[in-house]
Chain A
C-alpha cells in the first residue's frame, strides 16, 4: 500500500513583499515500510518538503499541489501518523521539562493513556532506544544528557505515538561520527521493528545510502533524480548526482589521494 503520494507540490515562502520559491513541481511516492532518503545541499528544499508533510510551514506560505495519504482514509494527525526527529537535539527538547514528561506527553496525547501508563510507556521506549538506566534518566532534564542521549530521547518521543511514518530531518548531522553510526543503526532497527516508513533527510549521500531503499536528489527546489539506492550510487543519471558522489570523501574511501598538482593542493595535504 502506498503511504504518501505527493503530486505537483510547490511551496513559496512570503517574507514581506518578497516571494521565495522553495519547492516546485515535486512528484514523489512513499510505500508502506519503505525507507526513502532525500538528498540535497542546504537550500535545496528538502527540509521544506518534510515540514510541508507535517504542516509545519509558517502561516502565509503558499502551497500548491497535493500531499495524500492513500492508506489512511482520513486527515493525518501529527504524532499519531508522523513522527519527526529534528537536527539539533539540544534545541528540540524543552529545557525546562523532564525527559520522561516529554515522552509521556506524546503517548498520553495519542494513545489515550493515563499519566501513569504513559510514564511506564516512556520507560519502555527509553529502553528501546537503548538508554542506560531508563528509570533514572527519565527524571533528568535535557541539559544533563549528552548529545547522542538527547537524540535518542527525541527519537523515543517521535515514535511514542506509534506513527506510520518517521521523518528524520538531518537527525545525525549535529553528532560526531561514532554516535552518528549508533543512531543510524537504532533508527534502522526501530523502523524495521515497527514497520514504519522512513523519510531520511540528509546532505550526506553516503550516509543516506546506508539506510535507504530509494534515494531522491533535490536541487534548487526541484526533484532531479529518484531511484533505488544501489543504481543511483553506481550509475547516477544526472551530472549533479555524480558531483555529489564525487564530493563525498568518507573515512572508508579507498580512492587514492590524487594530487592535482599546484601549490593549493600541496598545502591542503592528505585527508
Chain B
C-alpha cells in the first residue's frame, strides 16, 4: 500500500501510468469507435490532418483512416509487448531456476546455452526467426521472447543461488518434498521480484522490436501496426510527413510510458524495502 502511494506520488510514476492508461483505453475502445476493419478504405486518399473532422488525423495513400490505424495499432503493440515480455520472463525464470537450483552439469549446460543466445543480437535473432517461420502475431511474440529471455534467466539464476542455501529450502528438503516441487514452489516465487523488475525494459524493447519488424514488412499483414504505418508513410514522406509522424509519436509515448512506470515501480518497491 505504501509502495502504491509512493508510486502515485512520484511524477514519473504518475506520467507513466497516465500514458499507459490512455493507450490501454484507446486500444480497448478501438473496436467501439472504429468497428470497421482499419485496413479498409474510409475516404479519399491523402486528406491532411484536422481538415475533415470525420477523419481527424486524415487518410493515407489508399484512403485509410489514420486515427483508426493508430487505435488498432495500439492493440497490436501492447499485446505483442506484454505477451512477449511475459513469455520471456516465464521461460527465463524457469531456465534460471533449474540452472541455479540443480547446479553442476545442468547449470553449466543451461548457462552456456543462455550465453549462446546472448552472443547473437536480439533483433537479428527475431528477424531470422520471423523470416523462417513466416509473419504472424504468434511468430512475432515468440521471436521477441527468444531475443529477450536471457536477461531474466541470468537474474533468476543469481537469485536462486542465494535462495537455495536458505533454511526454508533445507526445511523443505527435510520435509521430503520433491526437488522440482522445491524449485518451483519454494525457490522460484522468492526469486521473482528482481526478475519482474526487468519487465518494463523488456516490454519497451518488445514494442520497439515489433515496430521494427513491421517496418521491415515482417509483421502480421492482417493487422495494423505502428511500424507498418510508418513504413507506408515513408514513400510520401515529403508530401505527407504526418503519415509517419503520428504513429511515430504514438510509439514514442507508449515506450516512454512503459519506461517511466517501470522505473517508478522499481523505485517505489526499493523504498519500501529500505523501510522494512
Contact = CB atoms under 8 A, between A and B. Distances in A.
Q: Do chains A and B interact in one complex? A: yes
Contacts of A154: 171
Given A86-B167, A88-B167, A94 B172 contact: yes
B273 interface: no
B174 A78 contact: yes
B168 A93 contact: yes
A97 B175 contact: no
Interface string B68-106: 000000000000000000000000000000000001100
Contact of A106 (B170, B176, B178, B190): B176
Given A59-B103, A96-B189, A79 B174 contact: yes
A67 to B, nearest CB: 15
B177 A109 contact: yes
A170 to B, nearest CB: 11
Nearest to B168: A94
A54 B174 contact: yes
Majority SS of interface residues in chain B?
Answer: helix
B145 to A, nearest CB: 25
A117 interface: no
Contact of B176 (A86, A91, A95, A110): A110
B189 A97 contact: yes
A105 interface: yes
Nearest to A51: B170
A161 B171 contact: no
Interface in B175-190: 175-178, 185-186, 189-190
Contacts of A54: 173-174
A56 B185 contact: no
Given A88-B167, A91-B167, A95-B190, A56 B173 contact: yes
Contacts of A96: 189-190
A82 interface: yes
A184 to B, nearest CB: 20
Contact of B175 (A59, A78, A91): A78
Contacts of A92: 167-168, 170-171
Interface in A34-68: 54, 56, 59
B30 to A, nearest CB: 38
B80 to A, nearest CB: 30
Given A97-B185, A97-B189, A56 B175 contact: no
Contacts of A77: 176
A157 B170 contact: no
B166 interface: yes
Interface in A78-118: 78-80, 82-84, 86-88, 91-97, 105-106, 109-110
B183 to A, nearest CB: 13
A97 B186 contact: yes
A86 B171 contact: yes
Nearest to A78: B176
Point out which of B103, B172, B185 has the most chain A C-beta atoms below 10 A from its C-beta.
B172
B180 to A, nearest CB: 13
B190 A109 contact: no
Nearest to B276: A143
A84 to B, nearest CB: 4
Given A84-B170, A86-B167, A154-B171, 13 more contacts: A79-B176, A79-B177, A82-B174, A83-B174, A84-B171, A84-B174, A87-B167, A91-B168, A92-B171, A94-B168, A105-B185, A109-B178, A158-B175
25 contacts: A56-B173, A56-B174, A77-B176, A78-B173, A78-B174, A80-B176, A84-B170, A84-B171, A84-B175, A86-B170, A92-B168, A93-B168, A93-B171, A94-B186, A94-B190, A95-B168, A96-B189, A105-B172, A105-B177, A106-B175, A109-B175, A109-B177, A110-B176, A160-B175, A161-B175
Top 7 A-B residue pairs of the complex, sorted by shortest distance between their CB atoms: A79-B176, A84-B174, A91-B167, A92-B167, A78-B176, A79-B175, A106-B175
Interface of A: 54, 56, 59, 77-80, 82-84, 86-88, 91-97, 105-106, 109-110, 154, 157-158, 160-161
